[in-house]
Amino acid sequence: MQLEGIHHVSSITGDAAGNVDFYVRVLGMRMVKRTVNQDDPSVYHLFYADEAGSPGADMTFFEYPGARQGRAGAGMIHRVAFRVGSEDALDFWAQRLTDEGVESERDGASLRFADPEGLGLELLADESGDPPLSARSPEIPAEHALRGFAGARAYTPDPERSAALLGDTLGFQPEDEGGNAWESRGEQRGGFYAYDPAPAERGIPGAGTVHHIAWAAYDDDIEGWNERVSAAGGHTSGLVDRFWFRSVYFREPSGVLFEIATQGPGFTSDEPLEHLGETLVLPPAFEHLREQIEPNLTPLPNPRAASSAT
C-alpha cells in the first residue's frame, strides 16, 4: 500500500466570510464544497481546492463563529506549504500580498506569510514534477496559480518518537538523518511532513490553527491502513464514512491528528463539476436536518458568481 501525499488539511476559522474572501479571492482557490462538520453539524465545513476539487489541493475549514485566535504549540501543525510554478510566481505573490496588506517574508524559493487569523502559510517554487492542481481565478494569472500542497510543518520536542510510525507503518521516506523531515510519495503525488522545535508556550486550539492533516489513500486500501496502524499500536477511529471519502483517524506520537482518506468517491458524486461549492450540500445522512441546520449558518455568497459580476 502507498499513500499519495497530502489529501487535505483542515483548520479552524472564526469568520467564514473573511475566510472565503482570503482563500478564494486573495489566494485564487476554488470553493468546491460548502457543507457542515459531520461531527458537529451546527458549523460549516468549507473546502477550497483546485478546479476539480482534487485530493492534494483541499484546504478546509470548520467555522466556529467568533472563535478566539489560537496558537500553534507542541503536537500541532504550524505551517502549511503550497506549490507555485516558479520563482517569478513568488514575486507575483509577494506583490499581491503586499497590495492586500499581508506581510510576507521571502527566502530564496520560499515565501512565508499568514492568513488573517494567523495560520502560517508558505509558497514554494515547485520542482516536484507532479501534475499541478490549480483553480481558475479572474485575479490570478494561470502561470502563477497555486498548484496543490507541497507539505506541512509541525512542532515537536522529540521527532524521533514518530520515526517508527512515519517510516515503518506509513511508508514515509526520511529526508534527513535526525527524523526531522519526511516525504510521503506515491505513484501520482508526494508531500513533505517536517518538524521544528516546539516553542515554550503551550499550544491553544482556536481560529488560525490546524485541526488535522489527511493523507491520500487508494479507495480499496483504507481497511488495510486501519489494520496496519492498529497493528503498530495506534489507536484508530475505525473506518468513518464521510460520503465524499472514507477515513481513518489517529494521532501520531508527536500529538498531531492524522487522517488517512480515500481519493473517492469525490466531490462530484453529488454536484456537477461546474457548480461545485455554490450552495450548501449535506451528506444524505444529514439531509433530514436541513431545516434546523441551514438557518443557523453564516450567510455566504457564491464566490464565483460574485467575481463574475464585478
Query: What is residue 142's three-state secondary structure?
Result: helix
Domain count, the chain: 1
Decide: 70 and 208 in contact? Cβ < 8 Å: yes
The pLDDT value recorded for residue 310 is 53
**Rounded CA gap, 90 and 68, in Å?**
31
pLDDT tens, residue by residue, 170-222: 999 999 888 899 999 999 999 999 999 999 999 999 999 999 999 999 999 99
In angstroms, how far is the first alpha carbon of the chain from the final one?
47
CATH code assigned at 213: 3.10.180.10
Domain interval for residue 195: 3-308
Decide: 181 and 190 in contact? Cβ < 8 Å: no
pLDDT tens, residue by residue, 93-117: 999 999 999 999 999 999 999 999 9
pLDDT tens, residue by residue, 143-172: 999 999 999 999 999 999 999 999 999 999
**Rounded CA gap, 94 and 283, in Å?**
39
Question: Stretch 20-36: mean pLDDT, rounded?
Answer: 98
